[in-house]
Each structure stands twice: as structure tokens, then as C-alpha cells.
Structure 1
Amino acid sequence: MEVEKKNYDKNEDKQSKIKGLTGYILFLLFGIGTWLNLNGIWIELPLLIPQLSEGWALSAQLGMASNIANIGPLIIALIRHLIGKSKSYEVPSICVIFAVGITVPLILSYTWSIQTLLFGKTRSVCLLILGFFLALVNCTSSVTYLPFVNHFDKKWLNIYFGGESLSSLIPAMLGLIQGVGQAPECVLTSSNPAIKEAKYHPARFSVNIYLICLSIIMLISFCAFVILWKREKKDIEKSPAVQIIIGENAQSSLLAYNNDEIIVKDENDKQEHFTPRTIVYLLIILWTSILLIGCIPSINSYSLNPYGATTFHYVIILCQCCYPLVSCIATFFPSLFNVSTIGITISTISGSLACFYIFLTAYLSPCSPLVDEISGKYIIAIVWAIVYLVFYYERIALGNYFNNTSGHRGLFWYGLLTQAGAFTGALIIFILTILDVFKERDLCANYNCH
């Protein structure tokens, strides 16, 4: 009997480890499907711009299309308001997101180069329209994926954040393999030998193949979601009862079966009213989203180009590694991400000051601070890394705080304010760009910045 018991315990332990490893992989793959496609389009811009009639104006136009796409979260918010506390909208919405995220890159791989005569000018109508739909579903993922993760044990949220971080790192790594971001050669022009122009190196594989790779990754992420959804349904069906009686709260306490762990959840779960502290933290999420997701990416060329193409390229890659690093630390050392008012205040102020320096370098471009000094390159790289490390630490810590204190409702507002901040920040930079506040630095021109 003792031998049988030991064998049984070993099998149980082995199955538990396998199930835990499977959970890590599934939530990681699920999170990858959040911003993969839109990040991929931005990574490809250096290859798209020379081949399309809009030139560098394409970036602003695509950015505006992405901003309009923030109507997606508003639609979900309206649906959620109309159906009350029901979560029935989540799975259909996520399925639509994946359907668009898988098919649109495939269509785009064959149509991105098509130019259409519109209002007297040739325009990349297909790219802009399909780019809008990719942005629409990516924006909507913020208010559907996070609430879905809330159905499971709280420990999986940091794994999901890790997957979300890879949604920016994977396209960057794929672009690095492709050869995007290589420093151009400055060659003399045939028309005027006194003027040099940038000559870019050809990519190792085409934009078409890159987009097809994104579609395949999205398909893998969708498969992970389906398995998670089926597991959730199976665990609920295994429940002998969905309601238990606990004192006077008999009708508000439900059994939730997540990853074979029974968790008693109160139906209200402190979700009816946000505390003043929670509201302040939500405003901080809005503020960090304005800076981190809305403003900073829109001025990266103005801030980093003055320090050279190599600095620009490697700083962007460094920043893409910051989110996965912070997510990894959160997974293995979750106690470091316990929210404290002092910690959140310090991180918000320090991140905001670092953002101010980045704005200063963009505003003073092409003669940014210490632009011709080696120290200038290291300082700007460190400042950019600080912004990403500090704000992503803050966002993961607050995401866990909302998951623990406000549950489904808190994570929904976390996602909604993330998108509101992204829209606001991008709109501010778009207006400043129209007003010609920032000046681009020609990589092959000589500037007297002393």
C-alpha cells in the first residue's frame, strides 16, 4: 500500500509539474497575440517608406489611422455597459480579434504595395485601411484579453504580461534578422557631387514573408487561447455545484475552477466601487500610457537619430528587451512588485523626468544635448532604458494590484485607460509634428552644433 501511495504521489507531482509548464507556455503564447501585428508594421516602415509614394509622411498617416482605431475599446465599453455584469462578450470578441489578426497580414502581404489615385495623389489605400483594422483589433485586445485572464488563478497574470512583452520583442527580433535598421551608407549624389544621400542595404527577405510570419505567430497564439478557453469550460463542467452556502452571503459566493484549483470568489469582489487609492492608480496608468505608449514611440527618430543610426537601432532593440526582462523578474520574484504608495510615486516621478529629457533631445534636434560626444550616446541610451524599465515595472505592479483588489472590472479599466492614454499621447505628438515643432536630422548631413 505504501509503495502504491508513493507511486501515486509521484504521478500526481509529475502531472502537476507538466500542467504548470503547460500553463506557462499557453499564457505566454496567448499574450504574444496582443500587439504583434501593429508592432510588426511599425518595424517594417524603413522598408515600406522608400517604396511608397507617401515617403516619411506614411508614418504620420499610419499613426493617425492607429489613433482612430481606439474606437474599438469604446465599442467594447458600450457593449459591456449594455449587457451589465455578463462576460459573454469576451470570447466572441477575442475570436474576432484573432480572425482579423490572422487573415489581414496574409492579405496585406500581397496588397501593401498597391497604390491608388485618390484626390489627385497616389496613396497606399490598402496599407492604411488594413493597418487600421490591425490597429483596431490590437487596441481592443487591451479590454478583452486582460479580463479573460482574470478568470484564472492570479499567478498567471505576470506570465500573460510576459507574453505581451514578447509581442513587441518578437517583431523587432524578426526585423533584426531581416536586416531592418542597418546603418545606411552615405554616397555622393550623381546630380550634385557635393551632397551625400543615404543608401540603404537590401533586406534578407521580403516584406511579404515578414507579414506571413506574423500571421503564423498569430495562429499559434489563437491555438493557445482555444486550449485555455476549453480548459476553463472543462473545469467549470467538472464542478458538482456552482454555488455554495457561506453564512448570509450564500447568493454572492461562487465556486471558480481554475487550472484544477478551487477558488471561492465573491461575486461583488469589491468591484462595485473603486477606492480613492484605486482611482489615483488608474490615473497613473493613464499618465504612463500617454508617455510610454503614446508620446515616446512617436518621437524616437527625433530623439535618437541625432546620435547616429547605430545608436537609434540598438536603443530601440534595448527598449524592446526591457518589458520581457521586467516580466521575467515579476514571474520569479512577485514580492518585488507589491504596490506601495511611496514606490509608485518615486517610479512615476523618475519615469516622467526621464521622459522630459527625451522630449528635450527631440525638441533640440538636430543639435540635441551632447550630440557629438560619446557620453551623449550612453546618456540617451540609459535614459530610454530607464523610462521603459520604470514604467513597465509600474504597469505590471498596478496590473496585479487591480487584479487582486478590483478583479475583472479593474483590469477592464486598466486596459481602457491604457488605450485612452495611447490615443491622447499620439494625438499630442501628431499635432506638434504638424506644427513643425520637431526637426529630423539627416544622417548624411553635417551640422555645426557647437
Structure 2
Amino acid sequence: MEGHKKSTTQTTKSRKIIGYVLFLLFGIGTWLNLNGIWIELPLLIPRLSEGWGLSPQLGMASNIANIGPVIIALIRYIIGESSAYEVPSICVIYTVGITVPIILSFTWFKQVYIFGTNRSLYLLVLGFFLALVNCTSSVTYLPFVNRFDPKWLNIYFGGESLSSLLPAILGLLQGVGKSDCIPSPTNPLILIEKTYPPRFSIEVYLSCLSVLMCLSFIAFLLLWKTQPKSNKPVKNPEPVEETLLDEIIKVETVHTNEEIKIEVVNTNDEKFTKKTIAYLVIILWTSILLIGCIPSINSFSLNPYGAATFHYVIIICQCCYPLVSFISTLYPQLFTVTMVRIIISTILGTLAFIYIMLTAFLSPCSPFVDEDYGKYIVAIMWIFVYLIFYYERIALGNYMNSTSGHRGLFWYGLLTQAGAFTGAVLIFTLNAYGIFKERSFCGTYHCS
């Protein structure tokens, strides 16, 4: 008898672990490729004709991809807010997310002469397609996860955070390479920058991203194939038929005999209050800053403080989401949403963003650029912005899931992408008017 109980307990733990792994791997497929491209920018910028201007151009190209969520919104409206669009859309996302990095590994360096100058057309176009599927994941993955017990949402967010952490780890292993100032072959009095290659190439890095997307796709297929066949929401859901998913990820606790089961969406929980609308506005605002503006000015804000600062700050910022997600799992009470807490965190994050924007606007003479402590100040501001806004993202994501259900998560994702697009357009426009200036690695500046 005791042996039977022990065997049952071990089986339960195994199923629980399998469930965690599946949701983590599924979440990895959200922003993996686009995060990977941003992490590679310190290596791409010195090798491509756009130079520092590559950041706002790539930001604009990737945010034009927000047409994807708009299309999904139209489809959702036409079919009556059914969830039938989710699985086909996710399959397309994975198809593009697996194949495009492979294609990009052979074409990222190719230049096309357009409008009187060489342009990285292959990188920008393929980057657009990667962003297209990543942006669309915001309005497909979250509603898909909503089919499951709410306990799995934080696990999914953990996987989504790994879509930042894993490319960051690859970036750390890869390194940024070194840069030296050497005399110009044509004029020895002029110093030019010479860069040395990292530990492994950009091509290898992109191939690794494709492999990770394959693993995420397998996890999605396992979840999809084991769901109830009926996806129609009902007001008073009856117990659904047990499926293979119950066999894979069912959790039976010894003392309470509770089970994690699939739940059918309850439309009674999908009401918007004034407070919910206010939180959606905050989601829009923080998305403008965090996802739209900051990535587009990273070269102008960080490069004046050195290539190493640029490279490692970008990587550390990608680790902030996993860290905040991990804290939310250990101390969920810290992520209880109150209006006062959200307003204070939004104000603090906005102030830190203003300093970051100032460093980009004043380049090449960014604040304290010639002082050793200058790079630490800008690094702290960048990390703080990511920590505080990711805190809001997770807290408000859970709030939307518990108070507004499928509808709330859909608008959460849609406004995230709307904010990202707005911020990218703003920075692209400012850069087109020459607001931001480069700082040469080997140049001499008088910034006192």
C-alpha cells in the first residue's frame, strides 16, 4: 500500500514537471527571435552601412509588423470573438520563426543600393517578418493560455521571460569582440576603428535561435493536441471530458486532492471597469516607452559610453524580465495590483526613461560621458526602467487574466503592440530629422 502511494506521488510530480516544461517552452516562442536580433546589434552596427541609425530603422521595420495584431483583431471580430483563429495563427508563427533565422544567417550582411545609398534590405525585411510573428504572438499566445487553469499563467510568463534570457546567455557566450584605434591607410594622422570578431559568428547565433524555436513548437503541439475539442465559451461551463493533457500535466496534491484541469472561458468574468480601462491606458503608455522608444535609441544612448557598455547593458536588460518573473513566482503578494502602486511605479519608470532619452538626445556629449561613473549611471537607469516596467507587465497581466479573462488578455496584448508602434514611429521620425548624433569611437570631443 505504501509502495503504491509512493509510486502515485512520484507519477504526480513527474506530470507536474512535464506541465511546467511544456508551458515554459511554449512561452519561449514569443519574443525569442526579435530579442535575439536586438542583442546582436552591437555586432551588426559596425558591419552595416546604416551604423548607429540601424536601431531606429530596425525598430520602425519591426513595429510596422503591428499590422499582424490588427489583422488578428479583424479576424476575431468577423468570427465573433471565437478562439478558432488561435491555433492556425500560432502554427504560422512557428513556421516563420523557425525558417527566417536560417535564411537570415545567409543574408544579414548583404547590401542593396537604394535611393543613393547601400541599405541592409535583407536584414530589415526579414527582421520585419520575425517581428510580424512575434507581435502577433501577443494576441494569440495569451488567449491560448487562457484556456488553461490560471495557475499556469505565471509559468507561461516565465517562459516568455526566457525568450529574453536565452538570447542574452548566447550573447554573453558570444562576446562583443574588441575594438582598437589604428592609423588610417590613406592618412596616418587619422585614427579609424578596427573591430575584432567575437567567439562565434552571427550565423551560428541565428541558427541557435532557430533550434530553440523548434523546441518551443514541439511543446505547443503537445499542448494543442491534448486540449478539449470544443473551444466555444459557455456561461455555465460543465466539466469537460478528460483528455491526454490531464494525463500529462494533472497535479494531484496529497493533502487537498486538487487537480489542475482545463477550464472553459467564463464570459461572466470578461467585464471592463473604469479601473481596468485606466490600467489598459498605463499598459499603452509603458509599452510606448519600453518596447517602442527604448530599443530604437539604444545605440545613441549607450554607444557613447563604449561598445562594451552597449553590449552588456543590452544583455542585462534582457535578463530583467526573467528575474521579475521569478520573483513573482516566489512572492506573488508583491504583485498585487493597487492603483497607488501602479501610478508610483509608472512615474518612477517614466523619470528614468527621461534620463535615457537625454543621453541619446545629447550624444555625442551625453551626460558624464567622459567620466568613469557615467557608464554606471546610464546602465542603472536602463536596468531600472526594465525592472519597473516588467513588474507592471506581469502584475497587470495577472490582473487582466483574473478580472477580464480572454477579452482582457487580448486587449492587453493589442495595446502592448499599439504602444510599441507609436514609440517606434516617434523615434524614427526624430532620427530622420537628425536629432540624434553619433560619437566616433576614435574621435576627440570636448564635452566639458
TM-score (norm. length: structure 2) = 0.90
Q: Of 203, 206, 214, which residue of structure 2 is paired with 1:208?
A: 203
Is residue 84 of structure 1 aligned with residue 83 of structure 2? no
Partner of 2:256: none
Q: State the secondary structure of the residue aligned to 1:152.
A: coil
Q: State the secondary structure of the residue aligned to 2:199.
A: coil
User: What's the offset of the Cα at 1:192?
Assistant: 2.5
* Partner AA of 2:167 in structure 1: P
Q: Is the 8 A contact 1:28 1:159 kept in 2?
A: yes
User: What's the offset of the Cα at 1:401?
Assistant: 0.4
Q: Is the 8 A contact 1:182 1:313 kept in 2?
A: no
Q: Of 358, 383, 386, which residue of structure 2 is paired with 1:385?
A: 383
Is residue 252 of structure 1 aligned with residue 236 of structure 2? yes
Q: State the secondary structure of the residue aligned to 1:426.
A: helix
Instruction: Give runs of aligned pairs for residues 328-339 of structure 1, distance below 5 A.
Output: 328-339=326-337
Partner of 2:312: 314
Aligned-partner Cα distance in 1 for 2:127–2:298: 20
Aligned-partner Cα distance in 1 for 2:179–2:282: 40
Q: State the secondary structure of the residue aligned to 1:424.
A: helix
* Partner AA of 2:126 in structure 1: L
- State which drifts further: 288-297 or 120-129: 120-129
Q: Structure 1 residues 367 and 113 mapped into 2: Cα distance closer, same or farther (>3 Å)? A: closer
Partner of 2:255: none
Instruction: Give runs of aligned pairs for residues 360-399 of structure 1, distance below 5 A.
Output: 360-399=358-397
Is residue 19 of structure 1 aligned with residue 15 of structure 2? yes
Partner of 1:246: none
Q: State the secondary structure of the residue aligned to 2:268.
A: coil
Partner of 2:441: 443
Aligned-partner Cα distance in 1 for 2:218–2:407: 26
Is residue 228 of structure 1 aligned with residue 200 of structure 2? no
Q: Structure 1 residues 431 and 264 mapped into 2: Cα distance closer, same or farther (>3 Å)? A: closer
- State which drifts further: 123-132 or 90-99: 123-132
Q: State the secondary structure of the residue aligned to 1:316.
A: helix
Q: Structure 1 residues 385 and 121 mapped into 2: Cα distance closer, same or farther (>3 Å)? A: closer
Aligned-partner Cα distance in 1 for 2:408–2:187: 61
Q: State the secondary structure of the residue aligned to 2:337.
A: coil
User: What's the offset of the Cα at 1:286?
Assistant: 0.5
Q: State the secondary structure of the residue aligned to 1:255.
A: coil
Spell out, residue by residue over 1:201-260, the C-alpha distance to the aligned partner (whole angstroms, 9 max, x if none).
1133332222221111100010111112223249x89xxxx99xxxxxx96334357743
Is residue 349 of structure 1 aligned with residue 347 of structure 2? yes
Q: Structure 1 residues 360 and 57 mapped into 2: Cα distance closer, same or farther (>3 Å)? A: closer
Partner of 2:104: 108
Q: Structure 1 residues 372 and 113 mapped into 2: Cα distance closer, same or farther (>3 Å)? A: closer
Q: Structure 1 residues 386 and 118 mapped into 2: Cα distance closer, same or farther (>3 Å)? A: closer
Aligned-partner Cα distance in 2 for 1:127–1:139: 17
Partner of 1:301: 299
Aligned-partner Cα distance in 2 for 1:449–1:371: 8
Q: Is the 8 A contact 2:368 2:374 kept in 1?
A: yes
Partner of 2:31: 35
Aligned-partner Cα distance in 2 for 1:387–1:80: 33
* Partner AA of 1:252 in structure 2: N
* Partner AA of 1:435 in structure 2: Y
Aligned-partner Cα distance in 2 for 1:203–1:371: 25
Is residue 168 of structure 1 aligned with residue 167 of structure 2? no
Spell out, residue by residue over 1:95-154, the C-alpha distance to the aligned partner (whole angstroms, 9 max, x if none).
110011111112222233444455565544333322221111111011101111111121
Aligned-partner Cα distance in 2 for 1:251–1:367: 61
Is residue 154 of structure 1 aligned with residue 150 of structure 2? yes
Q: Is the 8 A contact 2:293 2:426 kept in 1?
A: yes
- State which drifts further: 251-260 or 160-169: 251-260
Spell out, residue by residue over 1:384-412, the C-alpha distance to the aligned partner (whole angstroms, 9 max, x if none).
11111111011100000001111111111
Q: Structure 1 residues 350 and 286 mapped into 2: Cα distance closer, same or farther (>3 Å)? A: same
Q: Structure 1 residues 207 and 379 mapped into 2: Cα distance closer, same or farther (>3 Å)? A: closer
User: What's the offset of the Cα at 1:183?
Assistant: 4.1
Is residue 269 of structure 1 aligned with residue 264 of structure 2? no
Aligned-partner Cα distance in 2 for 1:412–1:96: 19
Q: Is the 8 A contact 1:254 1:264 kept in 2?
A: no
Instruction: Give runs of aligned pairs for residues 46-57 of structure 1, distance below 5 A.
Output: 46-57=42-53
Q: Is the 8 A contact 2:147 2:265 kept in 1?
A: no
Q: How many residues align?
A: 433
Identity rate, percent:
65
- What's the C-alpha RMSD, in Å, of the aligned pairs? 2.4
User: What's the offset of the Cα at 1:327?
Assistant: 0.6
User: What's the offset of the Cα at 1:58?
Assistant: 4.0
- State which drifts further: 298-307 or 280-289: 298-307
Aligned-partner Cα distance in 1 for 2:110–2:382: 36
Q: Is the 8 A contact 1:290 1:424 kept in 2?
A: yes
**Which 5+ residue runs of structure 2 have no aligned equivalent?**
251-259
Q: Structure 1 residues 349 and 47 mapped into 2: Cα distance closer, same or farther (>3 Å)? A: closer
Partner of 2:126: 130
Q: Is the 8 A contact 1:112 1:127 kept in 2?
A: yes
Spell out, residue by residue over 1:45-104, the C-alpha distance to the aligned partner (whole angstroms, 9 max, x if none).
344445445444444433332122110000000000111131111011101100111111
Q: Structure 1 residues 309 and 54 mapped into 2: Cα distance closer, same or farther (>3 Å)? A: closer
Aligned-partner Cα distance in 2 for 1:427–1:57: 14
Q: State the secondary structure of the residue aligned to 2:131.
A: helix
**Which 5+ residue runs of structure 1 have no aligned equivalent?**
244-249
Aligned-partner Cα distance in 2 for 1:130–1:429: 21
Q: State the secondary structure of the residue aligned to 1:253.
A: coil
Aligned-partner Cα distance in 1 for 2:425–2:28: 26
Aligned-partner Cα distance in 2 for 1:162–1:25: 10
Structure 1 consecutive aligned stretches of length 4 or more whose deviation exceeds 6 Å: none
Q: State the secondary structure of the residue aligned to 1:393.
A: helix
Q: Structure 1 residues 198 and 391 mapped into 2: Cα distance closer, same or farther (>3 Å)? A: same
Q: Structure 1 residues 262 and 108 mapped into 2: Cα distance closer, same or farther (>3 Å)? A: closer
| Greater relative contact order structure (CA < 8 Å, 6+ sep) | 2
* Partner AA of 2:410 in structure 1: F
Partner of 1:144: 140
Is residue 195 of structure 1 aligned with residue 190 of structure 2? yes
- State which drifts further: 43-52 or 403-412: 43-52
- State which drifts further: 82-91 or 274-283: 82-91
Is residue 327 of structure 1 aligned with residue 321 of structure 2? no
* Partner AA of 1:375 in structure 2: Y
Q: Structure 1 residues 352 and 49 mapped into 2: Cα distance closer, same or farther (>3 Å)? A: closer
User: What's the offset of the Cα at 1:316?
Assistant: 1.8
* Partner AA of 2:208 in structure 1: C
Partner of 1:413: 411
User: What's the offset of the Cα at 1:33?
Assistant: 0.8
- State which drifts further: 123-132 or 136-145: 123-132
